[in-house]
Amino acid sequence: MSDRHTLTERGALEVLWMQRRSFVQAAGAWTAMGGFAGAQAQQRSNIVELVGDALLNGQRLAAGDTIQSGDAIATGPGANLIFVLGNASFQVRQNSRLVVERGASLSVVSVLRLLTGAVVSVWGKGTQRRIVTPTVTIGIRGTGTYTEVFPQQDYRSYFCNCYGTVEVAASRDKVLSQSEYHQAFWAEPVLKNGRFLSPAKLINHTDEEVEALARLVNQRTQWQIMGKKGNKDGTGYMDEQPGQKHPAAR
């Protein structure tokens, strides 16, 4: 695994799912059959890969099922779920609970509400959508993201704007993040050093994960387009005054 990435409470196998032969084959088949549009036209499942046990609206999820906006998803220990909904793709880690709230249609997610666990996601351009956790709200445009909730830390949240433009809000603190290569934040349940929102290091996700999800929706990451990578953490782009909206430095 690249030395650019630090793991906290997660193992290397959990973030190397895109290297498994089963996923490589599944992703190739997904692309060859026309991606999400092809799945809709052929009335196929939009689940690219399911490993382990997961629940869809309280019922056991099968690889041939279809996930729609409005659905609630829960993954068990050791599970890994990859699915595509409209022009957005998602990788749900083990022991996660989330709801994909409905937008204008069954194939449009308006809100990804993460209650616990972790999700890597890539969002195509479109009307503004949101990621919501118990401690942070993120306004999404077209971007790649990683979001994790730590229930053992009073639902403290970690969010990384892997690339793109997002609006991050935790209680009174707000930041406009414009990222070409990973700007990350901690969102606290209570004030910490006078802030609810603070810069964070890059943890628990990899470039390769985001790139794999981008390919599923016929996209490239910003660093792939530019042909270079930048600093791997978000330090230096928030000033010392909490509660104000600041531009994020590149």
Q: Give pLDDT, residue 99.
A: 96
Question: What does the DSSP assignment read for 60-94?
Answer: E--TT----TTEEEEE-TT-EEEEEETTEEEEEPT
DSSP secondary structure code for residue 19 in this structure:
G
pLDDT tens digits for range 187-200: 999 999 999 999 99
What pairs with residue 116 in β-bridges? 97
The conformational region for residue 46 under phi > 0 = left, psi -120 to 50 = alpha, else beta, is alpha
pLDDT tens digits for range 23-50: 999 999 999 999 999 999 999 999 999 9
pLDDT tens digits for range 51-110: 999 999 999 999 999 999 999 999 999 999 999 999 999 999 999 999 999 877 777 888
pLDDT tens digits for range 203-220: 999 999 999 999 999 999
> What pTM was estimated for this model as a whole?
0.90
